[in-house]
Amino acid sequence: MTLPDNAREIRLASRPEGFPTPGNFDLVEVPVPAIGAGQLLVRNVVMSVDPYMRGRMNEGRSYTPPFELGKALDGGAVGEVVASEADGFAVGDTVLHGLGWRDYAAVDASTAVKVDPEVAPPGAYLGVLGMPGMTAYAGLLEVAAFREGDVVFVSGAAGAVGQVAGQVARLRGAKRVIGSAGSADKVKYLVEELGFDAAFNYKDGPVAELLAQAAPDGIDVYFDNVGGEHLEAAIDAFTMHGRAALCGSISNYNTTSPTGVRNLGLAVGKRLSLRGFIVGDHEHLRADFVREVGGWIAEGKLRYQETVTEGLERAPEAFIGMLRGENTGKALVTL
């Protein structure tokens, strides 16, 4: 295979204030990277855009280092090995790795994982069988300590994580699964395709009222992708000893005046457990996740959607659209 001399990458040009804009990104032509011992040269075929990336565009300490100005962004990607200086990897292998936002990546083999495109499409390893799916599985089952017979509420339920969390709850024996989403089409998707018992468009009224209608007897578990008004509504709706897995707070990612939770005092009387988590802390569940969720997909019991944007140059557009809730399921960019 003859490689080009140059390729493209997307860099962070400036730190966003509020919602990112195309001007916060630069598309730059660079030499195709050389690789050394223990490395792979990977031609990316699909990359992920995820909500957590927005936090990395800010300065300041967090659970993961911020993106550097003037440097290429990174994130989950799947690609083809086109050159290998590492044992165990051959040209033609398909690998999952963390250097997206570029055409070609020099990847340390220790950070790459072989995946089989015959078992599932490459994009699935970035979504339902990847980090978002694992986030849903660990968050629901371990962080929120889901039990058969629970009433479960999932916010952002038509997104990459939410669509899996709700279905895992249903397949594990939830009494009732409720989801929120941002459009009538997404609500229809949740109920008619994914098997949610009820769903509502959070733009139709106060979330607390909409949730009370969907869960008149309250909720036992809340999987939180949104924060803000949704979290406040869930605290109102919780039964005694309710449990929340705090996965994300996308409602506040792009605002300069974040909304808070005004009813946290209810957590005392209701004996609530509100627990934040990062998926990387739950790697011990990976084999169970692959076996159980992979099995459900193979059997047609767990369904998913992807929203695919074509072209590396359109990755910022896909990212901004994902933050605005324009995607259903996992947001991906094909290269």
| CATH number of the domain enclosing 58 | 3.90.180.10
Residues 201 and 247 grouped into a single domain: yes
Range of the domain at 98: 6-127+306-334
Q: Are 22 and 51 in contact (CB under 8 A)?
A: no
Polymer length of the chain: 335
Q: Are 224 and 155 in contact (CB under 8 A)?
A: yes
Q: What is the pLDDT of residues 175-209, one digit of tens each?
A: 999 999 999 999 999 999 999 999 999 999 999 99
Residues 19 and 58 grouped into a single domain: yes
CA separation for the pair 137, 38 (Å, rounded): 32
Residues 110 and 139 grouped into a single domain: no
Residue 266: CA atoms inside 13 Å, Cβ hemisphere, count? 16
Q: Is the dihedral of CA 212, 214, 217, 218 positive or negative?
A: negative
Backbone angles phi, psi at 296, to 5 degrees: -65, -40
**What is the mean pLDDT of the segment spanning 221-242?**
97
Residues 164 and 89 grouped into a single domain: no
- Bridge partners, 55 (sequence order): none
Q: What is the pLDDT of residues 35-72, one digit of tens each?
A: 999 999 999 999 999 999 999 999 987 788 999 999 99
pLDDT exceeds cutoff 90 at 214: yes
Residues 107 and 165 grouped into a single domain: no
For residue 296, tell me if it sits in a domain. Answer: no
pLDDT exceeds cutoff 80 at 290: yes
Q: What is the pLDDT of residues 66-106, one digit of tens each?
A: 999 999 999 999 999 999 999 999 999 999 999 999 999 99
pLDDT at residue 256, rounded to an integer: 77
Q: What is the mean pLDDT of the chain?
A: 96
pLDDT at residue 315, rounded to an integer: 98
pLDDT exceeds cutoff 90 at 25: yes
pLDDT at residue 34, rounded to an integer: 95
pLDDT at residue 63, rounded to an integer: 80
Residues 212 and 314 grouped into a single domain: no
Residues 138 and 118 grouped into a single domain: no
pLDDT at residue 259, rounded to an integer: 80
Query: Number of folded domains in the chain?
Result: 2
Rounded to two decimals, what is the model's pTM? Answer: 0.93
Residue 193: give its domain's CATH number: 3.40.50.720
Residues 119 and 159 grouped into a single domain: no
* Residue 114 structure tokens: 């072989």
For residue 292, tell me if it sits in a domain. Answer: no
Closest by CA to 274, choosing from 216, 210, 208, 227, is 227
For residue 288, tell me if it sits in a domain. Answer: no
Question: What is the band of 258 on the pLDDT scale with cuts at 50, 70, 90?
Answer: confident
Residues 154 and 206 grouped into a single domain: yes
For residue 26, tell me if it sits in a domain. Answer: yes
Residues 138 and 255 grouped into a single domain: yes
